[in-house]
Amino acid sequence: MRSINIAAGQLGPIARNETRTEVVARLSALMREAQSAGCDLIIYPELALTTFFPRWYMEDQAEIDCFFEREMPGPQTRPLFDLAGELGIGFCLGYAELALEDGRLHRYNSSILVDKSGRIVAKYRKVHLPGHAEHEPWRKFQHLEKRYFEPGAGFGVVDAFGGVIGMAICNDRRWSETYRVMGLQGVEVVLIGYNTPVHNPPAPEHDELSLFHNQLVMQAGAYQNGTWVVGVAKAGIEEGVDQIGGSCIIAPSGEVAAACTTRGDEIARACCDLDLCNSYKRTTFNFDVHRQPHAYRLIVERKGRHLMADGTAVPSA
Amino acid sequence: MRSINIAAGQLGPIARNETRTEVVARLSALMREAQSAGCDLIIYPELALTTFFPRWYMEDQAEIDCFFEREMPGPQTRPLFDLAGELGIGFCLGYAELALEDGRLHRYNSSILVDKSGRIVAKYRKVHLPGHAEHEPWRKFQHLEKRYFEPGAGFGVVDAFGGVIGMAICNDRRWSETYRVMGLQGVEVVLIGYNTPVHNPPAPEHDELSLFHNQLVMQAGAYQNGTWVVGVAKAGIEEGVDQIGGSCIIAPSGEVAAACTTRGDEIARACCDLDLCNSYKRTTFNFDVHRQPHAYRLIVERKGRHLMADGTAVPSA
């Protein structure tokens, strides 16, 4: 049996004035707990090193950049990498990435996969940035990911931990394309961290369905691609904003194999049998036999109902 | 409020020796019941005029073609069209279509949408044919859709009943691309008939999850595209094969608004407020704002992990 013993390492809220060192201590405690439970890998949430700062409108770039990491590991995060190597456990960590590329600074909402020796083996940059780019004072709180980050290039997979691993972040999980693009590369475990407010200012009528939608999209993505999905929240009331928990590990059947039940620092774990994926990948979802790409062209030709992928208007019929 | 009062017109089993006239009488009874309940539209299952014949391996093309319709309406189905016009109710009907095109006979697993005057306003031919093309005697029963049908061209929508309507058939509902291609055309109601055996011979370990998977994929398709989804079964034990029921009407929230609770001829109905779609289409799933087609190219470039869309092998990395 090929299997990975995985821990979903949910975090409770992180206050704005909490230091990286304090957060790393919390991450380290969860890592020790996961390792004691026999886990090979622990998944932390999106932007796991700080409070969820896109909830505030800020104009001072220096203030914004305080939430970003210029190197990974850096002085404050290295202890987590060292501990991973010492304990022999891998981790997946979300953080705000400040990268110098082509002589210019770029900012991404990123996650990395670190192996049991403490070495980074994959990096992912969030593709589906939710929210808005301009200050919208009518909202109780902002969601300025479109302002503070640029979107990543796409979804890859990596051979690690004896399986095929992919990453996605938060809003990515609501988009079926996320799972499919990785499914087409044979993904067996999709790792997803998130920060999801219970309240969605543009559509408050969805608030009571937040946990249902969270689970629905990950269950469908798992089943339709024959993959494990691990969803990990930063949960609880953070700087006055209530964020859902619902961290869980979902089997390729779409069934929930393990779930957190608090909204604080907590681990849920499952032994993920990677061969279960084949039960779906070789039957109902044998893509090589059953997919019909000739019928899917609109998915890449159009951005939406009104815009083509290149941003021009959809021609009227 | 723009709304369509919709009935899911589930059928119990149809015996192999049951005539079209007998079946049309059952469809008519459901139509009368739906119209009495104030419905604008009734949805019937896939291949609603006969037993689900792909469960048998047949070599005699004349025997196979007995299950197909050469014209629609034909002499035996015209009474249903006449009744629809008389009652002022529309319907969606699945059937096996024998079509003469380009001087050659083609066979499709099709459905049509008929308006309140009894006029056909749209036709759809199933894209995702499940099962296999050759006789596999080890199976308890066959699933020879890949033998008896050729796949359709794609997914369209039509303006009808005051909304934007699309159709899909059975296995199509398991594929996220089905909903997305229609979602990109602004679909507000997706109509889906199905015949789904409880037992899946290549993967019997999924049998107990049949109803869960049926609902999961339609709920995700509804939510992720902000559309109503109507799923309608031919249910019960048909010629010895147990088929799931689970017919239901799903709101754009992904919530089940109405569901059948038997496995026989039965109606479930819901008044579908089309403006509810906008609650999703204009916020979380505002495609024009949030989709990232640059990251989706693999969806059309590849058929599966091993094959490109044109059937050649995926180049090794």
**So where are chain A's domains?**
3-285
Q: What is the overall mean pLDDT for chain A? A: 98
User: How many Cβ atoms from other residues are within 10 Å of residue B244's Cβ?
Assistant: 20
Q: Which residues lie below 8 Å from residue B305, measured CB to CB, with a gap of 6+?
A: A184, A185, A186, A287, A288, B314
Question: CA of B154: which chain A residue's CA is closest?
Answer: A295
With an 8 Å Cβ cutoff, are B288 and A305 in contact? yes
Question: CA of B297: which chain A residue's CA is closest?
Answer: A300
With an 8 Å Cβ cutoff, are B217 and A223 in contact? yes
Confidence of residue A7 (pLDDT cuts 50, 70, 90): very high
Question: What is the reported pTM?
Answer: 0.98
Q: Per residue in B94-112, pLDDT tens?
A: 999 999 999 999 999 999 9
Is the pLDDT at A158 greater than 80? The verdict is yes
With an 8 Å Cβ cutoff, are A285 and B174 in contact? yes
Is B190:B227 a contact under the CB 8 Å cutoff?
yes
User: What distances in angstroms separate CA A78 from CA A92, A167, A250, one per listed residue?
Assistant: 14, 22, 30
Q: Per residue in B61-90, pLDDT tens?
A: 999 999 999 999 999 999 999 999 999 999
Which residues in chain B touch residue A197, judged by CB atoms under 8 angstroms apart? none
Predicted local distance difference test score (pLDDT) of residue A316: 83
Which residues in chain A touch residue B153, judged by CB atoms under 8 angstroms apart? 294-295
A126 is catalytic: yes
Q: Which of B54, B47, B243, B238 is nearest to B134 (CA)?
A: B54
Which residues in chain A touch residue B294, judged by CB atoms under 8 angstroms apart? 153-154, 309
- Mean pLDDT over A187-211 rounds to 97
- Mean pLDDT over A104-132 rounds to 98
- Mean pLDDT over B215-219 rounds to 98
Distance from CA of B145 to the nearest CA of A (A): 12
Strand partners, A109: A96
Sign of the Cα torsion B195, B199, B202, B205 reads positive
Predicted local distance difference test score (pLDDT) of residue B134: 98
Confidence of residue B316 (pLDDT cuts 50, 70, 90): confident
- Mean pLDDT over B116-133 rounds to 98
Q: What is the percentage of chain B residues whose pLDDT exceeds 70?
A: 100
Query: Is A201 part of the contact surface with chain B (CB cutoff 8 Å)?
Result: no
B46 is catalytic: yes
Which residues in chain B touch residue A154, judged by CB atoms under 8 angstroms apart? 294-295
Q: What is the ipTM of this complex?
A: 0.98
Is the pLDDT at A317 greater than 80? The verdict is no
- Mean pLDDT over A97-119 rounds to 97
Q: Per residue in A53-80, pLDDT tens?
A: 999 999 999 999 999 999 999 999 999 9
Q: Per residue in B146-163, pLDDT tens?
A: 999 999 999 999 999 999
- Mean pLDDT over B247-261 rounds to 98
Which residues in chain A touch residue B285, judged by CB atoms under 8 angstroms apart? 174
Question: CA of A171: which chain B residue's CA is closest?
Answer: B284
Confidence of residue B317 (pLDDT cuts 50, 70, 90): low
Q: Which of B126, B234, B260, B281 is catalytic?
A: B126
Is B145:B54 a contact under the CB 8 Å cutoff?
yes
For chain B, positions 243-282, list CB contacts with chain A under 8 A.
Answer: 253-255, 279-282
- Mean pLDDT over B8-24 rounds to 98
- B201 half-sphere exposure, CB direction, 13 A CA radius: 14
With an 8 Å Cβ cutoff, are B254 and A213 in contact? yes
Is the pLDDT at A290 greater than 70? The verdict is yes
CATH number of A3-285: 3.60.110.10
Confidence of residue A28 (pLDDT cuts 50, 70, 90): very high
With an 8 Å Cβ cutoff, are B297 and A293 in contact? no
- Mean pLDDT over A91-120 rounds to 98
